[in-house]
Amino acid sequence: MRFVRFEDDATAKERKAVKRMPNYRRNRVFGGTYFFTANLRDRRSDLLIAEIGALRSAVRAALDAHPFHIDARVVLPDHMHCVWTLPPDDHDFPVRWRTIKAIFSRSVPQAENRSPSLVRKRESGIWQRRYWEHTIRDEQDYMAHMNYVHFNPVKHGLAAHPAGWPFSSFRKCVALGMYPIDWANDETEIVEAGERLLPATVG
């Protein structure tokens, strides 16, 4: 298995722009497709897996309130990756993340020893305030991030093969004909894409 860094000309320019623009503004595109990473504040936690039912309920609530399509998703113990496509007349992905984070936080045990700042801001301390966002540009970029999502459990040593991880959309994508069930053999190139391409954004 080889990892390859995906960086086209636009990405190279984007990385240079990031250094010049520390206050990154989200790229909101009506009907856009996006890659996201959301992390728990405690990266040693397994809360997302331990409370997978609560997480699924939070996502369903967000889908009901603000519809969107989940192209791909994977949930790991302390973070999650996903690819979403928004409706043609909508670009408000932050409201969806706020909904998911808020409902999940209310559904699980609160973090102990919250800082005075978290208490003052009425934050649970479960999630990192920032998350990664990347606007998908084209088909190549789309498949690079789809592959990144589905290979992630293998990358982190949580499964021997993407099909072996239960908290993933891989098997659904196999059923849709997007992947063979034995995808990701020793000769497969997995692009190191995703959260390394853009700075963290608050939401």
> pTM for the whole thing?
0.79
pLDDT at residue 33 in the model? 97
5-28 pLDDT tens trace: 444 444 444 444 333 333 445 678
Other residues' Cβ atoms within 10 Å of the Cβ of residue 113: 6
Nearest Cα residue to 104 out of 151, 41, 35: 41
Alpha carbon 77 to its chain centroid, in Å, reads: 13
DSSP state of 201: E
pLDDT, residue 27, reads 77
Closest among 87, 75, 82 to 46, alpha carbons compared = 75
Contacts of 135 (CB under 8 A, 6+ apart): 27, 29, 32, 33, 34
Going by C-beta distance under 8 Å and a sequence separation of 6 or more, which residues neighbour residue 144?
6, 191, 193
Predicted local confidence at residue 32, as pLDDT: 95
Percent share of the chain, pLDDT over 90: 67
Domains of the chain: 2-54+68-94+126-202 (3.30.70.1290)
pLDDT of residue 117: 52
Q: Is residue 178 predicted with pLDDT exceeding 70?
A: yes
Please report the pLDDT score of residue 111 as a whole number: 60
pLDDT tens, position by position, 43-95 = 999 999 999 999 999 999 999 999 999 999 999 999 999 999 999 999 999 99
Phi, psi values for residue 129, rounded to 5°? -70, -25
3-state SS string over 94-128?
A: HHHHHHHHHHHHHHCCCCCCCCHHHHHCCCCCCEE
Buried b / exposed e across 26-49, counting CB within 10 Å, b at 16+?
A: beeeeebbbbbbbbbbeeebebbe
The band of 171, judged by pLDDT with boundaries at 50, 70 and 90, is very high
Q: Which residues contact 181 (CB under 8 A, 6 or more apart)?
A: 163, 174
* Residue 122, pLDDT above cutoff 60: no
Tell me which of 125 and 179 has the higher pLDDT. Answer: 179
